[in-house]
Amino acid sequence: MVTVTHGPITQAVTATGTLKPVQNVQVGSQVSGNIQKLFVDFNSIVKAGPGGCTDRSVVFQANVNQAEGDLANAQAALELARLNEARTQALVAKQNSAQSDLDQAMANLHQAEANVKIKEGALEKAKADLDHCTIISPIDGIGHSRKRGCRPDRGGESAGAR
């Protein structure tokens, strides 16, 4: 009598040729600068989402901080321009100031409003650049190549935006 057991069946197949991935994705940086830390090497498992590489975030965080300060400064100048325009308008109404003074105050107010919009745009750009400092993989897979001399054991390597 023979005992029958359940278990995996192993079959080996030997073949020659070139393996090609089902899906091949190239990821890169939208901003240029030094790579702070590289988490992916040859044949390492990559999960979809952030975590492949962090890229010069200290510099870009400083840019965000500066843009926030520039915007706050522009908003303060806008507030002062509004006060000056209202004050000059009251003086012109009482005929204690010339119309040209009111024209100048209104022009200063419009310039201050435009400057706030410019600084808001600069802040949005700085925040977008900071967000692009982390390279995000769109799929799960295995890292198979690396360009521009990136090495996970050395910081300060360069990455170019494409």
What pLDDT digit, counting tens, does each position of 37-59 carry?
676 766 777 777 765 555 567 88
Tell whether pTM > 0.85: no
Q: How far apart are CA 67 and CA 21, in angstroms?
A: 44
Q: Name the 3-class secondary structure at 47.
A: coil
1/78 Cα distance (integer angstroms)? 97
Task: Count Cβ atoms below 10 Å from residue 26 Cβ, excluding itself.
Answer: 7
Pairwise CA distance, residues 68 & 60, whole Å: 12
CA dist 27 and 7 (Å) reads 42
Tens digit of pLDDT for each residue in 106-147? Answer: 999 999 999 999 999 999 999 998 888 777 777 777 776 666
88, with CB counted inside 10 A (0-12, 13-18, 19+), is buried
